[in-house]
Amino acid sequence: MVQDRKIDKCEAICIALCESPGLSQAEMCQATNLRPPYISRALHNGWLDDVGVPVIDDGKQKRWFLLEKNIPTVSKFLVRGMGLEALDSPPVEFSAPGYCAITGEPISAGYRAMDIVPASSGEFLDMLNGNINGCLSEATAIAFKNTWNLGNRLIFEDGTHYHPLIDRTAAREKKRACWSDLVRHIWPSRINQRVLIIITTNCKKGVWHKARIGTLGNRTAVYLHDSKLVGVSESLWIDWERLLSALDFIETIYTAGFSRRGITNSILSETKAISALGLRQAIEWETVLRSMRDTIEFKAAVIIAQKTEGKDEGETE
């Protein structure tokens, strides 16, 4: 029985690393709902080796990968999805295997980080995990050269790429997808597919290197950055069906005249909308909102919510 539980825990960790390569131990806890001691034993006490699932770390035991030939990373998704061009100079072969200072993946060729990332770059030490003398994979170096426009992306492993906007009107004008429509458009036809998702209300803020590859389903990795409304900048593990349910409910309230700020804090403070709707209905909605506000799905839904009139399907670029 103990051996069965051990195998079950190892299987959960294996699935998490397969769906989202490069997880830290803390992120594995979030992705599997396992307590830290079990994660630590699996990684450091040979549990995974015992069940035939070898893993490799980034040299500092901060990020972990299944031992596979072509490890999918955020950088590779960006390069393929956006069709980013190679750098002028080819990557250099290393005398000994190393690790990408940003993604943590094992690499045998690449570029010196100092040759790609200037010291003037924002969050320099954070981006390189303090490894300023480290190296970058070819895909990471290419992605970094395009950091001026890597916010708000949804890219599947097959290369399907969306560059959405939060505001539906602006999305229509620029012939791009709107997040509210897009999250519905891909479900459930894309379920169980690997995907990179970055949602941000400030595209000038470089957060792509903190994102994770996820799998569309009940534990989808979404990097959400918003400093004003919900105050979050991290990878969230989102249940997609719950996200869509929360979005439907929030958009009903938003369309009724309540503000995003009110929905986030309390709609009972917005007297103008209440007078048009009726106090009873406002109290009923607020009761439901109180049970939703602490969920991660609420945080994403309230950021991308749009008023429902004139709603259209998601569009590719």
The 10s digit of each residue's pLDDT in 156-207 is: 999 999 999 999 999 999 999 999 999 999 999 999 999 999 999 998 788 8
Q: Is the pTM higher than 0.85? A: yes
CA distance 194 to 258: 35
Q: What is the pLDDT of residue 47?
A: 81
pLDDT values of the chain reduced to their tens digit, one per residue, 317 residues: 446 677 888 889 999 999 999 999 999 999 999 999 999 988 988 788 777 878 888 888 889 999 877 899 999 999 999 999 999 999 999 988 889 988 999 999 999 988 887 766 655 556 776 666 789 999 999 998 887 778 899 999 999 999 999 999 999 999 999 999 999 999 999 999 999 999 999 987 888 989 999 999 999 999 999 999 999 999 999 999 999 999 999 999 999 999 999 999 999 999 999 999 999 999 999 999 999 999 999 999 999 999 986 544 443 33
Task: Map out the domains of the chain as residue ranges.
Answer: 2-66, 75-147
pLDDT on residue 132:
67
- Here the contacts of 217-224 (C-beta below 8 Å, separation 24 or greater) are 217/191, 217/192, 219/16, 219/19, 219/31, 220/195, 221/19, 221/20, 221/31, 221/197, 222/197, 222/198, 222/300, 223/197, 223/198, 223/199, 224/199, 224/200, 224/299, 224/300, 224/303
Contact call for residues 312 and 181 (beta carbons, < 8 A): yes
The sign of the CA dihedral 203, 207, 212, 217 is negative
Going by their DSSP bridges, the two strands 92-99 and 135-136 should be labelled as: unpaired
CATH class name, domain 2-66:
mainly alpha
What integer pLDDT is reported at residue 96 of this predicted model? 85
Determine the pLDDT at residue 5. Answer: 74
